[in-house]
Amino acid sequence: MTPSLDPSQSNPSHSSATVRFQGWVQGLRGNNHVQFLQLRMDGRIFQVVAEKDFLGEDIFKKVKALPQETSLVVNGVIQKNEKAPGGSELFLHSFAIVGESHQYPITPKEHGPDFLHNHRHLWLRSKRQLAIQRVRSELSFAIREFFRNDGYTLIDTPILTGSIGESAGTLFSTEYFDLGQAYLAQTGQLYLETAAFAHSKVYCFGPTFRAEKSKTRRHLTEFWMLEAETAFLGQDGNLDLQERFVKTVLQTTIERTLEDLKTLDRDPAPLLEQLKRPFPRVDYGEAIQVLQTAGEEISWGEDINSEREQILTYHYGNAIFIQNFPRAIKAFYMKQNPEDQRTVLSADLIAPDGIGEIIGGSEREESYEKIVERLQKEGLPPEDYSWYLDLRKYGSVPHSGFGMGLERVIAWICGLSHIRECIPFPRMIYRLSP
């Protein structure tokens, strides 16, 4: 048997050894004398050259007739070719079909988004989707790498919970045996806070669920979120951490996926330039004034929607932190601002280019009495949060945290207009399959 070889690890100058590759036919092009077979292996495309004069007419005809997505074993020798993907190619000696493919539905012609999402299980094989998912993989690794290097402990928080972390109006609920309602987690934050009092620096990274009846290109009902909590850290330090984190993981991911970004026609240079500059920290009140000057009819106390977020990022020329939001429009656990009790020590990081909010964070309220007051005001029974309130009874300390949505960051890196391409199987209010 001939040896198997990873083409990315091969040395093209060693062209005498016969190697064996396994993969799928991504595409074919050529003429009556030579065919260039695009073989997909390990999510990457490798070129296989089939010459009629070498193979003979019968085998060459079989190569030329191979349908898209046929799975193959190919044997041949590696040869250098700067024009080929990766700078080398396989000169074909022989092949064998492993699995046949007939009338593959996703052809090279244009298809609409509904058709492609109905065939998402197959669409993932396309060059564009291969590139996006590799960016996602590298970004996920860079996130874990950052927090490991920074001394954070990974905490796996529950998916099923009896406590509401954000808004009751965006919960998926189910009956939980004899214990009443259970909810799919909107956030792991409340549980992560408990771990911060044990390990000081903690993070979680996993799926999150929001039953938002939104059809915008920025929303999914299931997405992945990175959340971090740090004991003995105030609001300013929290923003410093967020900025350092975002810049580090984006720069690392871009460096590791330059070929994938090229496949996506995404020039990373403008984004890298943005990352070199500080992210402005804009007070909510100042943001409202800027929007009013721009002609927006908005008053203090209103939330800032996605269109207005982009007005602000354009005005400041970069991603920006909007901080010190009104207390009435933020969650119960956010610390009241001692300098303006109408507001909380919170901040959203807004990305430009139509991406919008990628991080929400705050210093957490450490006062038992103030949290109970907010729970009661929002109609949440304090007894359901007794375990969370215990944190404020036994050694409470200042602490801060934040959450970052993975898919919006992928869209920012890749220059994508819709978030549905940023996750392998998107869940939206109108899609639950495949």
Q: Which of 171-185, 196-210, 246-260, 342-356 shows the lowest per-residue confidence on average (mean pLDDT)? A: 171-185
Domains 19-99 and 122-421 agree in fold: no
Structure tokens at 271: 């984004």
Task: Spell out the long-range contacts of 195-198 with Cβ–Cβ below 8 A and sequence spacing 24 or more.
Answer: 195/153, 195/155, 195/229, 196/229, 196/230, 196/231, 196/399, 196/401, 197/231, 197/391, 197/395, 197/397, 197/399
Structure tokens at 66: 């191979």
Spacing of C-alpha 242 from chain mean position: 16
| Cβ atoms 294, 311 nearer than 8 A | yes
CA dist., res. 282 & res. 348, Å (int): 10
pLDDT in tens, 298-354: 999 999 999 999 999 999 999 999 999 999 999 999 999 999 999 999 999 999 999
- CATH no. for 19-99: 2.40.50.140
Rounded mean pLDDT of the chain? 92
The letter for the amino acid at 8 is: S
Q: Taking the model in full, what pTM does it have?
A: 0.92
- For residue 245, give the nearest of 389, 403, 95, 27 by alpha carbon: 403
Please list the helix, strand and coil fractions of the chain in percent, rounded to the nearest 5, in that order: 35, 25, 35
Mean pLDDT calculated for residue range 373-386:
89
Percent of the residues in the chain that have a pLDDT greater than 70, as a whole number: 95
Provide the 3-class DSSP secondary structure of residue 366. Answer: coil
Given the DSSP bridges, would you call strands 44-51 and 18-30 parallel, antiparallel or unpaired? unpaired
pLDDT class of 166 with cuts at 50, 70, 90: low
pLDDT class of 213 with cuts at 50, 70, 90: confident
* Radius of gyration in angstroms for the set of CA atoms belonging to the chain, rounded to a whole number: 26
CA dist., res. 379 & res. 400, Å (int): 24
pLDDT class of 281 with cuts at 50, 70, 90: very high
Domain 122-421 has CATH 3.20.20.10: no
Given the DSSP bridges, would you call strands 88-99 and 44-51 parallel, antiparallel or unpaired? parallel
The domain locations on the chain are 19-99, 122-421
The pLDDT score that the predictor gives to residue 9 is: 47
